[in-house]
Amino acid sequence: MDSWDSFSHYSNSSSNGLEERLYQHLQHCRQQQPPHRVIDRFHQLFIEAEGYVDGAIWATLGEIVRRPQAPREFKYTLNRCCYTLINPWYTQPRDHWAIPELISQFQSLPPAPGSTAMARRVRQLVQGFTQSEQYASLYRLQQIFTEAGTVVAADADDEKPLSCFIRNYPYLYDHSLLTKDSDEAQKQNIQDMRRRQETQLGVRLARYHSQNRQDSRQGPRQNPTWLSDDHLSQALSYYTGKVDGPRSHRDLASWFTAFSRSVRSFADFKEEFCEYLMGPVVAVEPKYSGNHFTRRLRQCLGEILSEFDDQRLTPFLVVELCRRLLNFLVVDNPRRPVFRNFTHLINDIGYALTVGLLLRLVLFCKSAKPWLERCFAVLFNYHEQLPRQQVGWLVQGLEHVNVALITNFGEFGYQF
């Protein structure tokens, strides 16, 4: 994980004029030359690093890499150089091919250290960049532009690493494709990619749902997920249908929101919140009315911000409670992820009931939805180098979260 101190120092550095020369040079090259020529220049400057056609820019790079803070901060500079080209290429669909092509330059670094001290220094720092959070996010972006448009994987894809399929999960984009040094243009482009993918998936799910309710003789249904037809139909029914008498998840969240306004204290709210979250689970699995997991959940809730138990409920307390509870339910400690509660639940009560519990939490507290997305991004990023077939439990979980969020938060004009 990056140090905030190193990024803060980089952001406030008085010598950032050197970096600006690099960025402006790359901007000029992009404006004057086609993408393939710009990528050649980028390769010559940062990958070969044995000199450059523009001596002044080569000298500028030399000043940057010789600074004592370069081992900590060069990754931010190189990342910004990449996005100086990527951001405008993204706005031109005809140039989208250049984005994965640029990122692929880092996957064929020269094996030799370099013939000069300057070449050795640049190559060493670029090698370090490939171990950074910034490059990991770039690599995931490359997969989005490399993979085919379909979200359905063939059997031959089982051996591919999970990272190859990030395009299927737009709710991961914010936390898997952005880093602390991402600029506004990059954030806007990632948001645009996310909206497009969510809309496409939402439309495909709505069509599948409509076909599912009609005569099956109309032809094969086009399942836009990796869930089986039966599991997808059950998931759509559970996340959009009735789970508590006549009430859906959304209805329950609306009811509990109204109810929470009348609770006398934060402690009372936490007790009722547990009942709200676990009620539909207990209706299907009665043992969860007081088993070991539910007792631990109550204990977790009781300990969160207990110093405020006597106070009235506030938005801050609700959001902070939900964030910490998601850490308990999904994953804690991004440096060394602990996710035993999540795997216990999916193994014991299945994906629908588990994800339904998470859905009720974020439907009640919409401000916690980005935290839920962050939790699953932590799981994805932690397992992304493993073959898809080795993390089937996570793939199924990601798919269920996709369906739950799209059908309850989607804005694509289709009703389920």
> Which pLDDT score, from 0 to 100, does residue 150 have?
45
Q: What span, in angstroms and rounded, lies between the C-alpha atoms of 26 and 80?
A: 10
pLDDT at 413 over 90: no
Q: What is the mean pLDDT of residues 85-89?
A: 98
> Which pLDDT score, from 0 to 100, does residue 157 have?
77
CA distances from 379 to 161, 277, 332, 336 (A): 14, 22, 10, 10
> Which pLDDT score, from 0 to 100, does residue 148 have?
46
pLDDT at 244 over 90: no
SS3 content of the chain, % helix, strand, coil (to 5): 75, 0, 25
> Which pLDDT score, from 0 to 100, does residue 178 have?
97
The dihedrals phi and psi of 338, each to the nearest 5 degrees, come to -120, 120
CA atoms within a 13 Å half-sphere pointing along the CA-CB vector of 351: 20
DSSP β-bridge partners for residue 343 = none
Is residue 242 classed as helix, strand or coil in its secondary structure? strand
> Which pLDDT score, from 0 to 100, does residue 334 have?
85
| Residue count (the chain) | 416
Q: What is the mean pLDDT of residues 34-41?
A: 98
DSSP β-bridge partners for residue 338 = 332
> Which pLDDT score, from 0 to 100, does residue 285 have?
97
Residue 273 pLDDT level (bands cut at 50, 70, 90)? very high
pLDDT at 394 over 50: yes
Percent pLDDT > 70 in the chain is: 91
HEC states along 301-336? Answer: HHHCCHHHCCCCCCHHHHHHHHHHHHHHHCCECCCC
Sign, CA torsion 98/99/100/106: positive
pTM of the model: 0.92
Q: What is the tens place of the pLDDT at every residue in 181-201?
A: 999 999 999 999 999 999 999
Q: What span, in angstroms and rounded, lies between the C-alpha atoms of 50 and 113?
A: 11
CA distances from 377 to 137, 179, 331 (A): 11, 13, 10
Q: What is the mean pLDDT of residues 395-413?
A: 90
Choose between 288 and 111: higher pLDDT: 288
